[in-house]
Chain A
């Protein structure tokens, strides 16, 4: 991918050195340019690190490192300079894990004991939206990705805890069908929950059930 002419504005934008018009032009640009947005995010991290370290950067002595950290650095350098070692090392590690843990021990799927809104065992899925009261029935539901190759089952309940709608998706966001949205009333409470299911049908994670209310128009 060739260099974008807006890239030279990244530093100025992050350091607030652009005038308003330039900054807005650049903002509009990175809404349309993946290269610039990725660079922008990366540069922001770099600038943050530089600002945190400050004058320590120009001192000759590196910040003190523990022995463990130095050892870790050495290991990282070995793999960084000999990338061909990475795959065989990982393969060997996985083989050892496999031999230790299977097929002799049958692993039970994690059991989830749900008590009201609390998940007592197993991984919890973080729900993103809606998690607070809303002005209108939500257009979509969104949650955090839990892992690879999972299917998510979303369930929406009304104030009597009766199932209003459920669906499955491999994405982490789902649009609420219009016919369901129309059933949702202002002043009413609803709750929703997401479960993650692996490709072999095992339940691997559950969210807590999050409640939200559609604010009354009055």
Chain B
């Protein structure tokens, strides 16, 4: 049986899934892909159109339904990209306005400050694991630690960074408030 959505719910879905669709497309195609924002628009339009036509039959979750549409679109883009002649892809400005860019810069600044306030033993782990992209086992071997110790230090550093962001940017509402309501 197909699920019907109110106009309000559809509007909420657009707002809440835009960042997730954007994140996935940007990762798959790269932020330099010239039309990734248009692709996000296309996907959202497709999602809303299908929901309005009653094509969501709750055989899977709403998130999975939207993910499937997003994934198909990404595959189409990759195929088109492979066929197209090579062109110089210029970097484009982000869709976010000045307010969003400012927020991103503030968050980046907080993260940087917190990183440098960490003790050297934590910074070293972060450097080897994220910058050098070594595995936990390789990091452990390099530093003469157990894998468990590496995991604990990573986890601690991540907690500190998350806490610093929460302190300055407390989240008001979960992005998924609607999703939880829709699941009921």
Contact = CB atoms under 8 A, between A and B. Distances in A.
Nearest to A174: B11
A31 B95 contact: no
A51 B175 contact: no
A73 B124 CA distance: 23
Q: B15, B49, B123, B130: which has the most chain A beta carbons within 10 Å? A: B130
Given A37-B175, A48-B108, A31 B131 contact: no
Given A37-B20, A45-B107, A58-B123, A140 B11 contact: yes
Interface residues of A, number: 53
Interface residues of B, number: 57
A35 to B, nearest CB: 9
A49 B120 contact: no
A53 B66 contact: no
Given A50-B115, A139-B52, A172 B15 contact: yes
What is the predominant secondary structure among interface residues of chain B facing chain A?
helix
A24 B71 contact: yes
A132 B41 CA distance: 11
B41 A63 contact: no
Nearest to A34: B176
B111 to A, nearest CB: 4
Interface of B: 7-8, 10-12, 14-15, 17, 19-20, 23-24, 38, 41, 44-45, 48-49, 52, 61-64, 66-67, 70-71, 95, 97, 99-100, 107-108, 111-113, 115-116, 120, 123-124, 126-127, 129-131, 133, 158, 161-162, 165, 167, 171, 174-176, 179
Interface of A: 11, 15, 17, 24, 27-28, 30-34, 37-55, 57-58, 60, 62-63, 73, 80, 126, 128-130, 132, 138-140, 142, 144, 169, 171-175
